Structure 1
Amino acid sequence: MPAPALDMLDVALLEALHEHPRTGLQEIARIVGVARATATARLQRLERAGIVSGFGPEIDVTAAGFGVQAFVTLEIAQGALEEVHRELAAIPGILEAHATTGSGDVICRVAASSHESLQQILVQLNRSASVVRSTSVVALSCVVPWRTLPLLRSEAAPGSGRSPSSR
């Protein structure tokens, strides 16, 4: 099933939730300028579609003591993606991993409390029989943090998303 097209009301609701994460839905509806029932129905639709996937706190791993971060590209043995998936999931310092195109097969975002801890993670990765080669680069600073709202805003269907009778 294709993802539903987002309109400006959906984006406004997501922006309000992003800017006021601890605010109740009644207040979010007031901020956006719609009825609570409208905001509730829209949010439920976004959740069912998987667009909104959680309401947990955003965690800053640097502030939590894991200030050494790196990106590690792995070249893996032919047909070993499932095994690598299990191995990567077992390493707590792997924040995320993506299968990729290009010279590497998987790219991992890694966080560690120190350079020594990062080295231990890299050694653990290289001990895997599924990993043929790894290349790592240490992140010095974050230039653009993870974000989604600019993308959603740029592609939102014009109009408020309300039915023609409510305009």
Structure 2
Amino acid sequence: MQLDRIDLKIIRRLQEEGRITNVQLAEAVGLSPSPCLARVKRLETAGIIIGYEAQFDLAKLGDFVTAYVQIILKNHRRADAERFEKAVVRHREVVEFHMVNGKFDYLMKIVAAGYDGPARILEELWQADLGMQSYSLFIVSGMPIRNGPLSIAS
């Protein structure tokens, strides 16, 4: 699907404020409401817009800790990777999970209750004997940028 400059304006504006009304969005991108809504629906149908979500201040919800984990697997057979991936996705505390290239195989973001929450999740994965060779855990101590908008060229 080819995106024109108005589609890109719509995407940028929705990144800034996902709960904007269609009338406000149309005004912001220079369309009338009906064609604007049609474009948004087209972007959703094409799978470019895949959802809308709320963001939360975790500190106000409880004692949550965010951690990033780099994981190296012992073997790089697809079957071993799939077994590991299936086990990881069962943990709701794992909020991002990426297969990556480089010095490690996976990058995982864990948000769990309590200071020991991320370590508890990792210990469960380690004890399940899923082929992990090693991991490095990094506890987040601050977030200078939180969910910044993507830089989308016009």
Into which bin does the TM-score normalised by the smaller protein fall?
A: 0.7 to 0.9
Gaps of 5+ in 1: 157-167
What is the aligned counterpart of 2:66 among 64, 69, 77?
69
Normalising by the residue count of structure 1, what TM-score does the alignment of the two structures yield?
0.77
Q: Secondary structure at the match of 1:55?
A: coil
Assess if the C-alpha contact under 8 Å between 1:94 and 1:111 holds in 2: yes
The letter of the residue matching 2:69 is V
Q: Give the aligned CA root-mean-square deviation in angstroms.
A: 2.1
Partner of 2:116: 116
Assess if the C-alpha contact under 8 Å between 2:16 and 2:149 holds in 1: no
Pair 1:117–1:57, CA change in 2 (3 A): same
Question: Quick check: 1:58 aligned with 2:55?
Answer: yes
Pair 1:102–1:43, CA change in 2 (3 A): same
Please state how far the C-alpha of 1:41 moved relative to its aligned partner: 2.0
Partner of 1:132: 133
Please state how far the C-alpha of 1:29 moved relative to its aligned partner: 1.2
Question: Quick check: 1:13 aligned with 2:10?
Answer: yes
Normalising by the residue count of structure 2, what TM-score does the alignment of the two structures yield?
0.83
Assess if the C-alpha contact under 8 Å between 1:98 and 1:106 holds in 2: yes
Partner of 2:88: 88
Assess if the C-alpha contact under 8 Å between 1:61 and 1:111 holds in 2: no
Question: Quick check: 1:37 aligned with 2:38?
Answer: no
Rounded Cα–Cα distance in structure 1 between residues aligned with 2:30 and 2:10:
10
Rounded Cα–Cα distance in structure 2 between residues aligned with 1:44 and 1:113:
37
Rounded Cα–Cα distance in structure 1 between residues aligned with 2:99 and 2:143:
22
Assess if the C-alpha contact under 8 Å between 2:69 and 2:138 holds in 1: yes
Assess if the C-alpha contact under 8 Å between 1:93 and 1:110 holds in 2: yes
Rounded Cα–Cα distance in structure 2 between residues aligned with 1:60 and 1:49:
31
Q: How many residues are matched?
A: 150
Pair 1:125–1:60, CA change in 2 (3 A): farther
Gaps of 5+ in 2: none
The letter of the residue matching 1:24 is T
Assess if the C-alpha contact under 8 Å between 1:95 and 1:110 holds in 2: yes
Please state how far the C-alpha of 1:53 moved relative to its aligned partner: 0.7
Q: Secondary structure at the match of 1:11?
A: helix
